[in-house]
Structure 1
Amino acid sequence: MKADPADQRRLLDLAEVDAELARLAHRRRTLPEDGEHATAEKAVQAAKDKLVGIETSAGDLDRDIRRIERDVEGVRARTVRDQEMLASAGVGAKQASDLQHELETLARRQGVLEDEQLEIMEQREAVGIDLDHARGELATAEETLTDVGARRDSALADITASEAGRRRARADAVASIGAADLLAAYETRLSQGRVGAGLLRERRCGACRLELDRTFIGQLRAAAADDVVHCEECGAILVRTPESGL
């Protein structure tokens, strides 16, 4: 294949733009903010799960407190009734003894319930502290997630803007190359995930960075200026310029 040396040199501009696009694509795939965002999401979910667990415990204790309050009210009401009956006229000795015994039983029951109520209220107070702490942890985790998300979005926006600029530059570079066959050969290599072209400088291929064999360098010296030559190591189009030292 032959191509105007000027078109061959323009391939270097195109290759540089494509290298920049590749770097931007790699940056997009490996954004540190992506990992930070995933970690922050897990932290938020863990904080939510923790909060739900503590809220469940608080709800259970609140129900126990309400149950005991109802039981205490019931015991107090029964005590008042028995006291009124004991104080009323016409109560026989046997009934008075039974009422007195029941009042003693109710007093013991009320004491047990009130002790249990106090214990549960102390537990509820401790859980309330845990609840406030868990809510604070969740708020902090959500703030971190929001911050990381904003930084990730900003980084992606920068990459997108850079990519748009490089694609415009690529279109200009492609339009400047008049050799269709040369451009097709370059694009084929690029589609295969390989570097399309590289500058030959001091016996090294600019695409693979390998030093080329002296025999091959001799063949390059003998090649016409419009001959399209390829690196013997990686197959990229070798562009010769005064820097090549041939």
Structure 2
Amino acid sequence: MPLKASPSDQALLLDLQQLDTTLQQLAHRARQLPENAALAELDKQTATLRARLTTEEGTAEDARRELGRIESDVAVVEARVKRDHERLQSSSSQKDIQALEQELTALANRQSDLEDVELEVMDRVEQSGAVVEATQGELDELAAKRGELDAEREASLATVESERTHATANRTTIAQKVPADLLALYERQRERYGIGASHLRARVSSASGVELTGNDLATVRAAAPDDVLLCPTSDAILVRTDESGI
């Protein structure tokens, strides 16, 4: 037996559909907030900077290790110089004295070379450290921006959620007024086709934007006012009103 519902009950479906459309739009707004795109871009920049920072920290660490090795070599040379000076002071052998003096000369040259390299590496340590510090500063700035954007997104989401709560409450109120069998059909058609109810206005289905053909219009005109019809172009419930033009 074809489903029957009063025109006034069928008209409630248009209000229900409008609220469902509003809820879909609100969900889309929540997904497409401009803050989301800005946060995604910040995350991309942050990932790039973190990768760069890892490389820079590796370079800085290499320089520090090299400096440590050179400082160790310098300490060894200094210890040998100190030892040779002490031996030189206590030695009475001309041969030993001559050998110690030659070694001290070689050590002095070695120490001079090491200190030149040490200065160069110290400069590299300083420069690489400054680079790391600068990149970390950029990351800190991005983190601060992200915090601000997070707060803005939360505020935007709160607004959307408030509107969603209001629309949901209104939908519940209207749905309670719709007969159960009519509501079940509406929900089924909406789940299948995306739209549950279509307003026939000036012979055009609002769901599809298509004007009904002569045969379809004849079927609609022949139907009783309480007959529940489906739109031939969208499969949504076709709601007729004074604006239908039939």
TM-score, scaled relative to structure 1:
0.90
Q: CA deviation at 1:193?
A: 4.2
Secondary structure class of the residue paired with 2:210: coil
Shift in Å at residue 24 of structure 1?
1.6
Instruction: Quote how far apart the aligned CAs of 1:95 are.
Output: 0.9
Q: Is the 8 A contact 2:200 2:239 kept in 1?
A: yes
- The superposition leaves residues 68-97 of structure 1 with CA deviations (integer Å, 9 ceiling, x where unpaired) of 223223322322332343344x52221111
The answer as to whether partners of 1:44 and 1:141 remain within 8 angstroms in 2 is yes
Counterpart CA distance in 1 for 2:74 and 2:216 is 101
2:199 corresponds in structure 1 to 199
1:111 is matched by which residue type in structure 2?
S
Unaligned runs of 5+ in 1: none
The residue that corresponds to 2:73 in the other structure is 71
Structure-1 separation of matches of 2:83 and 2:187 = 99
Given that 2:81 and 2:107 are in contact with CA atoms closer than 8 Å, whether structure 1 keeps it comes out as yes
Amino acid at match of 1:63: R
CA distance in 1, matches of 2:28, 2:85: 86
Question: 1:199·1:240 contact (CA, 8 Å) conserved in 2?
Answer: yes
1:186 is matched with 186
Q: Which residue of 1 aligns with 2:236?
A: 236
Structure-1 separation of matches of 2:85 and 2:172: 100
Is the CA contact 2:74–2:115 (under 8 Å) kept in the aligned structure 1? yes
Q: Any gaps of 5 or more consecutive residues in structure 2? A: none
* C-alpha separation in 2, matches of 1:123 and 1:19: 63
Residue 164 of structure 2 is matched in structure 1 by 163
Partner of 2:141: 140
Q: d(CA) in 2 for partners of 1:181 and 1:84?
A: 109
In structure 1, distance between residues paired with 2:103 and 2:180 = 108
Q: How does 1:32-71 map to 2 (within 5 A)?
A: 32-71=34-73
Give the whole-Å Cα distance in 1 for the aligned partners of 2:235 and 2:87.
110
TM-superposed deviation, 1:13: 0.6
Partner of residue 103, structure 2: 102
Is 1:122 the counterpart of 2:123 in the alignment?
yes
User: In the aligned structure 1, how far is the partner of 2:51 from the partner of 2:162?
Assistant: 39
The corresponding residue for 1:92 is 93
Checking the alignment, whether the CA contact within 8 Å between 2:190 and 2:236 is kept in structure 1 is no
Answer yes or no: is the 8 Å Cα contact 1:85–1:91 preserved in 2.
no
Distance 1:31 1:193, change over 3 A: farther
Equivalent residue for 1:22, pick from 12, 21, 24: 24
In 1, Cα distance between the equivalents of 2:70 and 2:191? 76
Aligned to 1:207, what secondary structure does the other structure show? coil
| CA spacing shift, 1:188–1:218, aligned 2, 3 Å | same
Regions of 4+ moved over 4 Å: none
Give the distance between the partners of 1:102 and 1:75, measured in 2 at CA. 11
Per-residue CA distance 1:92-119 (angstroms, 9 max, x = gap): 2211110111011101110110111011
How far does residue 189 in structure 1 lie from its aligned partner after superposition?
0.8
Quote the offset at 1:220 in angstroms: 1.9
Q: 1:193 to 1:22 in 2, by over 3 A?
A: farther
Distance 1:83 1:29 in 2: 78
Distance 2:215 2:42 in 1: 58
Equivalent position amino acid for 1:36 in 2: A
Question: Aligned partners of 1:220 and 1:85: how far apart in 2?
Answer: 120
Deviations 1:188-241 (A, max 9, x none): 112224211111111100111111102322332232222222211112111111
Letter in 2 for 1:220: V
The 1-side partners of 2:190 and 2:202 are apart by 24
In structure 2, do the counterparts of structure 1 residues 26 and 193 end up closer, same or farther at CA, with 3 Å as the change threshold?
Answer: farther
The RMSD of aligned alpha carbons is 1.9
